Structures are given as C-alpha cells and as structure tokens.
Amino acid sequence: MLIVVGLVILFGSILGGYTMHHGKIMVLLQWSEFLIIGGAGLGAFVMANPMVVIKRGFARSVALLKPNPYTAKVYAELLQMLTEFYTKARKDGLLGVESHVENPESSDIFKKYPFFYRHHHARAFFADTMKVLLVGAVEDHHLSEILDMDLERMHQEEMAVPAAITKVADSMPGFGIVAAVLGIVITMGSIGGAATEVGEKVAAALVGTFLGILLSYGVFAPIASAVEVRIASEHDYLNSIRVSLLAFARGDGASTCVEFARRSVQPEERPSFAQVDAMRKRQAA
C-alpha cells in the first residue's frame, strides 16, 4: 500500500514543480518514448531471466499494492497453531500428529489457521521437518543444518526477483538515452523546418532521457527495495517456525518451543507473553 502513496508523492512533486514553472504536461506525454523505453526494458527483463523469475517478478510487484501481510495478528495465529500442535505432539506422541504431517492439506489443526494453511512454503517447511522427526533419521545438529540450508535456498530463489528488477532499473537511463538519440535523429531529418517544429522535436527527444532516469530511480529501484522487504518479512516468518522446530527436536516442552518462536519475531510484530499465555489457556480450557 505504501508503494501507491510513494508513487503519488513522487509524481505529484515532480509534475507539481514542473507546472509551477509553467511547464505543459502534454509535452511530457510522448507515447512513442514510453513505448521505446518500456518495451526495451520489458524485452531485456524477459531475455535475462527464466520464466519462473519473470512470473514471480510480476506477482511480487502486484503484491506491493496490498499491505505487508506479516503482521502481529498473523504471528499470533502462527504461535497459536504451534501451541496446539506441539501440545498434542507432547501429549499423544509423534504418532498422534502423524496424520497431520503426512497429509497437511487435510489437517484439521492446520485448517484452523488460514494464513498458515494458505502459505504453501510455511506449511511444507513445517510438515516436511516433522516427517524427518517422525522417522528419527537425523540428529539435532544435522537438523539445524538442514533447516538453515532449506531457508537459505528459498531465500536465494526469492532474491532473484529484486535482483532482476534492479537490473531493469539500472538499464532505464540507458534506454532513455536510446529514445532521446532516436528523437534527435528524427529532429535532424526536419532541421530545415520551422524553428517551432524543430524545438518541439528536440523537447520530445529530451523527454526520453527524463523518463529513463525517472523510471530508474523513482519507480523500479524503489519497487526492487520494497520486494526485498517483503521477502525479508517472509524469511522472518519461516525462521520463527524454524527455531520452534529446533526446540521441539531437542525435547523442549510446547510452551518453550512457542516462546522460542515468539522471541524470534521482530519487536513491532511480536505478540506479548500475556497474549500467548491467554491463547494457551483458552486452548487448554
């Protein structure tokens, strides 16, 4: 949502200052320049990246129109799910939760918590790790390495998206110059015309340079940074699950496992101990 506010401030300030100097907005609406710069940028983006990065790039950019989903409410839901799951696992043993981790899509526990249930990465990350614990095929320190490797790999894949958008941002000034040079070429073909006509063509050519720089530093670079922030938020969410799983693997009680998860949450989104304790009491009632 803030991306929309930022764009309004950005374009409002630039166009407002431009019109205050008696600039004409219509002069900036050079659709051919938009086509050259935008098309070249899109083409370079498609050529430089695999299809999965292209799809994620558009999906991640569109997702910025919505608020960051990783709020205190979402973390409270996660902690509540972990409390219920770990309590059942400690009470009934690992076999008591086997059906939930073998078929997480049909788990009655997971379905109670919609954000976690819809988060395919988080659900698979949690269920797959519990499967490893069920078969007892890994030691605690090896489990830590596995989870770290899993999160690092997911993070690397996701970070390919802002890296690709950053490259588009870096290319925009160059494509703006390309559009400007083409405009100058057209202008030189009309050099014998009226001074007014030549001036309009020069102005249109300069718009290309302006657009290239504006799109680079004012649009694509901030979008890349905002996508990085969202990815970091998702990584924090998965890391909370990770630390709780490691505590569970060590044999800690359900309350301790959940407390590890709670303490790993950023202070701005972290539910208080009293909130978690109240949730625990409601579940026990």
pLDDT tens by residue, 204-231: 888 889 999 999 999 999 999 999 999 9
Percent of the chain with pLDDT over 90: 73
Residue 134 within a domain? yes
Is residue 68 over pLDDT 90?
yes
Q: What is the mean pLDDT of residues 117-140?
A: 90
Residue 40 lies in a domain: yes
Q: Which domain covers residue 97, as residue numbers? A: 27-284
Residue 21 lies in a domain: no
pLDDT band at 192 (very low <50, low <70, confident <90, very high): low
Rounded to an integer, the average pLDDT of 6-30 is: 89
Per-residue pLDDT, averaged over 107-115, amounts to: 95
What is the C-alpha separation between 162 and 45, in angstroms, rounded? 12
Per-residue model confidence (pLDDT) at position 77? 95
pTM above 0.95, yes or no: no
pLDDT band at 89 (very low <50, low <70, confident <90, very high): very high
In a domain, 166, yes or no: yes
The pLDDT of residue 282 is above 90: no
What is residue 193's predicted lDDT score, i.e. its pLDDT? Answer: 66
Residue 95, pLDDT score: 87
pLDDT at position 55 is 96
Give the count of domains, the chain. Answer: 1
Q: Average pLDDT for residues 41-57, to the nearest whole number? A: 96
Alpha-carbon distance of 165 to 49, in angstroms, equals 10
